[in-house]
Chain A
Amino acid sequence: MLQITCPYCGCRDETEYSFGGESHVSRPAPDAGDAEWSDYLFNRSNPRGIHYERWQHRFGCGRWFNIARDTVSHEIYATYEMGDARPDLPGKADN
């Protein structure tokens, strides 16, 4: 069970959160072509290594935020607010 640090509340057990999938997926404009739209709907990066994903502190403050998590070790390298850019993670190369 992960231990996640909410940027607003602090360190809590995973049971207080809900997972919202990959973050930084931008929603195409309504006039997007079929290919672009289906890419948005169905394709995710699914990396082995650092995954930038969003979580909600569902049973806490209710806020959504981002996490950089290693999908192999489950280590969480960074937690940052919605709208912030992906953080620099020197030495934690995407593998």
Chain B
Amino acid sequence: MAKRQKNRLAEGGCIDRSKPLAFEFNGRKLQGFAGDTIASALLANGISTVSRSFKYHRPRGVFSAGVEESGGLLTVTSGNGDIPIVRSTLTALAEGKIIRSQNCFPSVNFDLGRSLDFSHRLWSTGFYNKTFKWPHWRWYEATIRRLAGLGKLASGEDNTGYFHHNLHCDVLIVGAGPAGLAAALSAANSGARVVLAEQEHEVGGSLLRQAAEIDGLEPDPWIAATLATLRQSGNVTVMTSSTVCGYYDHNVLTIADRSDAGVKRFWKVRTKQVVLATGAIEQPLVFCNNDRPGIMLAASAMAYVHRYGVRPCASMLVATNNDSAYAAAFSLHDHGVQIPAIVDVRENIAPALVQQADQRGIPIMPGSVIIDTAGFRRLSKARIGRLSKDAQTVLPASRWIRCSGIAMSGGFNPTLHLYSQAGGKLHYNVQLACFLTATCAQQVLVAGAANGRFLLPDALAESVQAGAQAAGNAGFECRPVAISTSVAGSYALQANRISPAGDTHRQWVDWLHDVTVADIEQAAQENFVSVEHMKRYTSAGMSVDQGKTSNLNALTLLAGLTDKPIEEVGTTTFRPQFMPLPMGVIAGQRRADFYQPARLLPAHDWHLAKDAVFEDYGAWRRPEYYAGNGKDRAEAIRAEVLSVRRNAGLFDGSPLGKIEVKGPDAGDFLNRIYVNNIQTLKTGHIRYGLMLNENGIIIDDGVCARLEDELYLLSTTAANADRIGGWLEEWHQCEWPHLELLISPVTSQWAVITIAGPDSRYILQSIDSDIDFSAESLPHMSLSTGVFAGVDARVQRVSFSGEMSFEISVAAKHGQTVIEHLLASSAHLKPVGIEAILVLRTEKGYLHVGADTDGTSNALDVGFAGIVAKKQTDFVGKRSLLRARDQSAERRQLVGIEAVDKHENLQAGAHFVTTDGAAQRSEGMVTSACYSPTLQRIIGLGMLEKGFARKGETVTVFDAGRTFSARITDPVFYDPAGERLHA
């Protein structure tokens, strides 16, 4: 049986007492009502300590009733496991919720981490940068990591549905408090398509926590009538539990929508106009031990009474620097909360307020501040001191007042995170002691409390105009509605928030990251006086609340410490997200198989049936090797290499990039793109080519075939196909648009089947075809077309293995049948995977761009000096190769390498190191290495300083702490004369 809700009022609030909801908190069975948030239900049950703080593990209670919450960040168990850092103040209570405190061990009321608090002077700002250096950070890391962080992530599969949507509208209004509702009425009345987004689960904002009369109605009926009007207009979409998190260029905003249980939606909204009616966040006061459970913001305390029918505490001291907290004090008093006193920093208080306080018997202490609090586990008393005349110090006499809670108000700061994200600049307003908007290049208006209109009549008057103006800016006729309110009110803030007495190590500025006044002082002392540096050094404002309650006080302190006005200190820039989002919301459906859809070979099913072990190479899923008869990886690759060297292998090269270039100027164009001469390439022939960028750096290689007089087919490395296609387009369209040609990427139109090995010709000749495969008709680097195995085919005699090799291209749809036909025709033909091909090319010393070369390798470094010198005409990158640095003999150049001790495990990534002189220095790297089954030893390729001139030299290789000797060789280990290639 759930306990009675001891702090619940008998009546009032937007909750439904006929719908009780059972829930569990730290194992205790409790009850709340429909309409409660988790926080209000906890307070209703008299739970004061709900969590432990981040660094010092101090007990913390519910601090607010909104997005600025710092104490009530809890872990909620759902069907998907634990969700940490749930804002209990924004999350609606639901039947059966299981809720736990986080950051405590073994329990929230007895936490061993609290010892960190008792030794707090050891853990000041920058403590781990300075302290955990000896013997090594690794020695401390595990312990620190366990103590750090907020809650723990669930592991395992997340079954939440994450969806992305797009939305287009004329006016997006952010926030559905009084300002947002008023703006929506006017914008809709003007005929605009309006989206009204509210982050709480119901609309109303500050109206839900105060007594007011609007258009002759109480807040609740006015809100209901307004919603009905908006719905009737037919052009307004109202979204609740929907937080606008990001404001990007050209009026794109993102909304995290939690309104459906089990589903999280992320909306991308493109809107003509934005109205920010985001309200303002109440700022805390800074005094000693201002973080005890029971201490909360005054407007929030009022919200618990009005909106949820909950008494936050039995007795609450009210502390303020402005008039707004008086409404809270009176309201709390009228609902049965004892108010021992109102502590006001101001000397002069409006007579009307004094009179109302007198009527209720509430003493006012003017010119006073709280200087300390005390209590075990929860607050029991507060010490009040009187300010000196200049308000810079506290007079010696002070007194303790008993209370179980404190409702404090340091005034309001507009919620302008989105404005700042939009590129807007903020300026400090001295009178209101807060930041207001200055300028923004985007189509955005700011209205209501977000624009410093903290009194309801001002906010409403401004917002009806803003809504109409936004519609007008979007091209509609401005038709503002009229709203009347009888509430007057006053604000009269005095800008003191920081109590000038007590131990600054115990005065919290950022509750979430446990940043105190002392930390800001230390940052200033160590010269972190730029606001951005101070923020990063102390981490104030960097936690999940992103400075919502800490920024202003931290800036005020920094201004005081550096003797500058706040407007000169400036403020930090806000960036998305406005509040933390689960990564799943951002990822949406783009995860697992949808993250990067795999490209499958045309004959994928056939490879699967042949026991191919697949690996992702770029976007392509390709056979790495074939694991028939239980062979292990190395054994399988070895057998595949030998089958190519001894008989013949079949390799599926379909991902090879293929680009057709067609037109009268195609040859001229390609001659400007390739290092190699294309102008002398005859129809029916093929040439190897290297492509450079304008810096002379190698970006790709492949062969270029002249299929017809005005039609060329380029092949690129598989991973580069899209990039090179784009590269060609850019040069054609932007640099040489007068050349007549068309560029068509055709990679996926063709299946490419390579048959390589001494038996390859004999195998192909056994297939029904009109193509002549003889050495005379089809020599190396030539091509032929015809019918092959019943389908149209093009055969290119090119090789990446060093053996006689034929590349057969057929329409992709025929790929699998042609492969099956070939395999059935000869017992000597074996499928080979990409790993075997990489061994074969290393044996032959063929370059693998991106493996053997990097962003520093130019054409001369891989032995192209002769070709570059011979080519008369210009090509991309040529001019750069003429620079002295590019021609230097000191550069790293392509070499072959083999270990002197043939059992030594030569690995790619090892360094060549100097042995002379004091300090060893790298003079290059091993870029490829493998065991060669053909040569029966480990061989490799590398880039070595002055490598061309060092063949035969013995060098020292450094790899993972070991050194050994290796010999520099020619890169071509296999068939250097090319007899097998040309057979």
Contact = CB atoms under 8 A, between A and B. Distances in A.
A1 B248 CA distance: 6
A1 B735 CA distance: 28
Nearest to A62: B729
Interface residues of A, number: 28
Interface in A35-94: 37, 40-41, 54, 56, 58, 62-64, 70, 72-75, 82-83
A32 interface: yes
Interface in A1-38: 1-3, 13-14, 18, 20, 27-28, 30, 32, 34, 37
A58 B723 CA distance: 11
A72 B729 CA distance: 30
B250 A54 contact: no
Nearest to B875: A30
A30 B734 contact: no
B730 A64 contact: yes
Given A63-B733, A75-B441, A1 B880 contact: no
12 contacts: A13-B270, A14-B249, A28-B879, A30-B879, A32-B879, A37-B880, A41-B695, A58-B726, A62-B729, A73-B423, A74-B249, A74-B423
Interface string B239-253: 000000000111010
Given A28-B879, A30-B878, A82 B249 contact: no
B725 to A, nearest CB: 10
A52 to B, nearest CB: 13
Contact of A64 (B249, B423, B442, B733): B733
Interface size class of B (residues with CB under 8 A): 20 to 34
B735 A74 contact: no
A3 B879 contact: no
B375 interface: no
Given A2-B250, A13-B270, A37-B879, 9 more contacts: A1-B249, A30-B878, A30-B879, A34-B883, A41-B694, A64-B730, A70-B441, A74-B441, A83-B737
Contacts of B733: 56, 63-64, 82
Contacts of A82: 733-734, 737
A73 B441 contact: yes
Interface string B634-663: 000000000000000000000000000000
A75 to B, nearest CB: 7
Contacts of B218: none
A63 B878 CA distance: 27
Contact of A20 (B252, B270, B730): B730
A92 B441 CA distance: 14
B874 interface: yes
Residue among B270, B694, B733, B883 with most chain A CB within 10 A:
B733
Interface string B716-729: 00000000001001
Nearest to A20: B730
A20 B577 CA distance: 29
A73 to B, nearest CB: 3
Nearest to A72: B441
Contacts of A75: 441
A83 B726 CA distance: 19
A82 B958 CA distance: 52
A44 to B, nearest CB: 13
Interface of A: 1-3, 13-14, 18, 20, 27-28, 30, 32, 34, 37, 40-41, 54, 56, 58, 62-64, 70, 72-75, 82-83
Contacts of B879: 28, 30, 32, 37
A82 B726 CA distance: 16
Nearest to A73: B441
Contacts of A37: 879-880, 883
Interface in B225-261: 248-250, 252
A54 B248 CA distance: 21
A30 B418 CA distance: 50
A76 B270 CA distance: 16
Contact of A54 (B270, B694, B734): B734
Contacts of A34: 883
* Shortest beta-carbon contacts, A-B, top 6: A73-B441, A64-B733, A30-B874, A1-B252, A3-B250, A74-B249
A82 to B, nearest CB: 6
A58 B874 CA distance: 28
A85 B131 CA distance: 61
Nearest to A70: B441
A64 B248 contact: no
A8 to B, nearest CB: 12
A25 to B, nearest CB: 10
A41 to B, nearest CB: 6
A83 to B, nearest CB: 6
B875 to A, nearest CB: 9
Contact of B249 (A2, A32, A41, A83): A2
Contacts of B880: 37, 41
Contact of B730 (A1, A13, A30, A56): A56
Nearest to B268: A1
Contacts of A2: 249-250
Interface in B103-133: none
Interface in B435-465: 441-442
Interface in B397-455: 423, 441-442
B726 A56 contact: yes
Nearest to B738: A83
Interface string B673-708: 000000000000000000000110000000000000
Interface string B45-73: 00000000000000000000000000000
A7 to B, nearest CB: 13
B482 to A, nearest CB: 35
Contacts of A64: 729-730, 733-734
A64 B728 CA distance: 12
Contacts of B874: 30
Contacts of B735: 27
A5 to B, nearest CB: 12
A63 B732 CA distance: 11
A64 B252 CA distance: 24
A62 B423 CA distance: 31
A56 B270 CA distance: 22
A58 B725 CA distance: 11
A92 to B, nearest CB: 13
A73 B251 CA distance: 12
Interface in B262-294: 270
A3 B268 CA distance: 13
A25 B250 CA distance: 27
A32 B694 CA distance: 14
A30 B423 CA distance: 43
Contacts of B737: 82-83
Interface in B879-924: 879-880, 883
Nearest to A23: B734
Nearest to B254: A1
Contacts of A3: 250, 270
A2 B695 CA distance: 31
A64 B880 CA distance: 26
A4 B244 CA distance: 24
Interface in B805-820: none
A3 B737 CA distance: 26
Nearest to B743: A62
Interface in B831-888: 874, 878-880, 883
